[in-house]
Homo-oligomer: A and B are copies of this chain.
Amino acid sequence: MLPSGIRIWGLPKIPEIEPGMDLAETILAALAQSGISCTGSMIFVIAQKVVSKAEGCIVRLQDVVPSPQALAWAAKYRKDARMVETVLRQSRRIVRMDRGVIIAETHHGFVCANAGVDASNAPAGTVILLPPDPDRSAEQLRLRFERELRRNVAVILSDTFGRPWRTGLTNVALGIAGLSPFIDYRGQVDSFGRTLQSTVLAIADELAGAAELVMGKTGGVPAAIVEGFPFVAAAGSGKDLIRPAEDDLFR
């Protein structure tokens, strides 16, 4: 059954997150104050950055000693060599390193700019790394939310990625807990009775992108809630959204 309607709310008034803070409690407190009232299942979409901050995935650039490779590349493109070094350390494969842009595959397998290392919304002199295990982070939040809210809850950790061929960034799902990242239409029949062949929708990425519409980048809204999307509770993993190397024509 398709839903007749979905609601998406941004969750305001979440304070600046610092290492060691209880993110689940902070988000639940913001929800309680928000006046948002959900009756059914809820999907929480949480910006990776606040999870990384809570988990202490922060690097002080003054502590980083750049390698010769990082120094050379940084000099060529007028970048901070300590930032470049941090990106290289977060990478297990460089996909492209050209025109001042580093597209890298992270140790998790995500392909993105700067291996997910980002200075925006980071304290001065620091950069933020991706969480080491986004699925685990999502599941820890999900368990807390579900216990407190006593309903079916899913959690998506989102980040903002570029993509080849298309301009601009969109939010995608890095970590998932409590729902499948896909709706698989293969084997179902269309309105003419034809069996669909290759239609697997990455709904976790679409949910992450939808949530971005209410989160923005500068308004201090690092979390959103989706209500009314009839997901089936399932284990799910953000890793399932990483295309296996053997299927990828664009390595």
Interface residues of A (CB under 8 A from B): 2-10, 12, 16, 36, 96, 98-99, 101, 103, 111, 119-124, 160, 163-172, 181-183, 185, 188-192, 194, 196-197, 199-203, 205-207, 209-210, 212-221, 229, 240-244, 247-250
Q: Pull 11 A–B residue pairs with CB atoms less than 8 Å apart, ordered by A.
A: A2-B10, A4-B214, A120-B196, A160-B201, A164-B250, A165-B242, A167-B182, A167-B240, A168-B182, A191-B220, A210-B213
Interface pair B249/A169, CB less than 8 Å apart: no
Interface pair B168/A196, CB less than 8 Å apart: no
Question: B residues within 8 A CB of A10?
Answer: 2-5
Interface pair B210/A122, CB less than 8 Å apart: no
Minimum CB–CB distance for A59 against chain B, Å: 15
- Which of B120, B169, B192, B209 has a CB less than 8 Å from the CB of A170? B209
Question: B residues within 8 A CB of A185?
Answer: 216-218
Minimum CB–CB distance for A134 against chain B, Å: 14
